Amino acid sequence: MTTFLQRLYLGLVGLFLSLPLIVVAGVSVNEKQTLAFPPQGFSLSWYGEIFANPEWRNALLASITLAAVSAALALAIALPLAWFLWRRHAPWANIFQLLGIAPFTLPPVITALGLLTFWATTGFYGQPWTAAISHAIFFVTLPLVTLSLGFSSIDRSLVEAAATMGADDRTIFRTVVLPLILPYLVSGYAFAFVLSLNEYIVAYMTVGFTMETLPIKIFNALRYGYTPTMASVTILFVAIAALIFGLVARFGDLPKLLGAMANTDKQ
Amino acid sequence: MRREAPQRLADYGPLLFPAGMLIVFFVIPFATMIAVSFFQRDPAGFYSTAFVFDNYARFLSLFFGKVLGFSLFLAVTVAICCVVIAVPFTYLLSRARRRTQVLWLVALLSVLSLSEVIIGFAWSTLFSRTAGITNLLVAIGLMSEPVALNPSFGAVLTAMVYQALPYTVLVLYPALVRLDPTLTEAARTLGASPVKSFFTVVVPALRNTIVATLIMVFIFALGSYLLPQILGRPQHWTLSVLITDQAIYQSNMPFAAAMAVFLVLVTLGLVGLTLIATRKGEAA
């Protein structure tokens, strides 16, 4: 009886989380351009539309480019910082850890507005590359957190062994540290990539009038009424996120990444 | 290898790029925003340099008071709903098999990473007259004809709970996984029902975690800027919406900046409270 109630509760939460997506998935296969559920007819043409219609295709390409570049930049900021904090004893340097986490903790509109005033003042407002830097700063928290976790899980005696055998910092980093933190590096990149792909407000405030990312495109389209392409894009994005997080879970330890203890005590 | 203090100047090398990026692209923009909040609006451009308190003085209006009051009320309601749903859920999740946990975590992360635009669109579809949930109620005979459920306060609240729920679960998850299972086992052995042991053992043991989570979800909900726009009426607009509106559509950057500074102060105050709440938790 209690197991039944427990399952029922989990099931209800699951239903709440999936219901909007089920309806959107249904809407996305409508044959005609109607907002109807259950769908009338069946057609996958609205998925083709994402790639066939130049507006949607360009928005998708812009989003993917932005996500790939900004996640790489976020990693380039986070990796040396996390390494330094792990390798050196310099308490004052923790201020940079704090700075890396702040943009993500504050309401996003604040970071967005800060960057908007900054780009407007420096005269670069609207340049596509400003969005990449803005996203990198906004999402640097994610690789920073996963990498800090990765470094703290390294057994220091391994590093010591390499050092006694004469390896310098560079060699140790390449041959010992890097292979050990690789899963954390990849998951940090994955988190930053997926979130950048979905980010709206920072992108909108920095390059909203010159470049259309997919979330901006959906919002603009939403104002002029409904097209089923919005639904197919939504499902595409859910699928991309699920695929990427599924891969992270497959090749890494997701419970541990999300702060649970190492799972030696569970099957 | 022990961590050692940097000895030579070259040891600081790796810090150069990250520190430079964070200072130039986060600290300076932040400082610019604070400076702009004291500037004057310039209808021709973004703003003109000045030092005035006018932007802050506008907070004293009734309109602003209403928006602030509604933002806080909405965020509190969202936080309470999320924690009430998420605590039992996360507890059950943390007791589930590892494979089940991983599946749920992937699903939660996928929903969490969804754009607010997408969440807003999905719920506006679900609340619509033609494709919405009321069609289902008509089909099973509970309603006579489908109706549109948005724009309304309920629609905004539901979508915001949807957005914040995965976040709430993921904030609670580490604490609940670490919760000593012998606590509930002891309660069960002494004859308490699972529900009773949950409320008399698990919830009190997690009191500080729950308080900290409430505050964190509150901050998260305070940041929602699109859902009130897509699913609500203008009276459901929050401070975040107003900031965006002033910055982009009214081109009043100084006023937007002043509101953002105010929002930062509210948030920092709450983060301080969270730290105090969790520290007490560690001491206990």
Stretch B29-43: mean pLDDT, rounded? 84
User: Taking 50 as the threshold, does the pLDDT of residue A267 lie above it?
Assistant: no
Q: Which helix (H) or strand (E) holds B48?
A: strand B47-48
Better pLDDT: B36 or A226: B36
What is the percent of chain A where pLDDT is above 70? 96
Residue B45: per-residue pLDDT:
63
Q: What is the pLDDT of residues B266-282, one digit of tens each?
A: 888 887 887 787 776 55
| Nearest residue to A187 via CA among A97, A239, A249, A133 | A249
Residue type at A245 in one-letter notation: F
Lowest mean pLDDT among A22-36, A56-70, A162-176: A22-36
Chain A closest-CA separation from residue B212 CA (Å): 14
Q: Is B141 left (phi over 0), alpha (psi -120 to 50) or beta?
A: left
Residue B43: per-residue pLDDT:
66
Lowest mean pLDDT among A56-65, A139-148, B182-191: B182-191
User: Taking 80 as the threshold, does the pLDDT of residue A154 lie above it?
Assistant: yes
Domain-wise residue ranges, chain B: 62-283
On whether any CB of chain A is under 8 Å from the CB of B9, the answer is: no
What is the percent of chain B where pLDDT is above 90? 21
Lowest mean pLDDT among A108-122, A246-260, B90-104, B206-220: A246-260
Q: What is the pLDDT of residues A90-148, one digit of tens each?
A: 888 889 988 988 888 888 889 999 999 899 888 888 888 999 999 999 999 999 988 98
Q: pTM here?
A: 0.87
What is the percent of chain A where pLDDT is above 90? 31
Rounded Cα gap, residues A154 and A156, in angstroms: 6
Residue A264: per-residue pLDDT:
40
Interface with B, mutate which of A21, A31, A117, A169 (most B CBs under 10 A): A117
Nearest to B36 among A17, A20, A117 (CB): A117
With bands split at pLDDT 50, 70 and 90, how would you rate the model's confidence at B165?
very high
Residue B134: per-residue pLDDT:
77
Chain A closest-CA separation from residue B49 CA (Å): 11
Cβ within 8 Å, pair A86-B3: yes
Could you give the angle at which helices B116-126 and B153-178 cross, rounded to 10 degrees?
A: 120
On whether any CB of chain A is under 8 Å from the CB of B256, the answer is: yes
Cβ within 8 Å, pair A10-B89: yes
On whether any CB of chain A is under 8 Å from the CB of B189, the answer is: no
Could you give the angle at which helices B62-95 and B98-112 cross, rounded to 10 degrees?
A: 160
* Partners of residue B22 in chain A, C-beta under 8 Å: 77, 96, 99-100, 137, 140
ipTM above 0.90, yes or no: no
Domains along chain A?
58-255 (1.10.3720.10)
Residues in contact with B112: Cβ distance below 8 Å, sequence separation at least 6, in sequence order? B166, B167, B170
Q: Between 2.40.37.10, 3.30.1370.160, 1.10.10.10, 1.10.3720.10, what CATH number should domain B62-283 receive?
A: 1.10.3720.10
Residue A265: per-residue pLDDT:
39
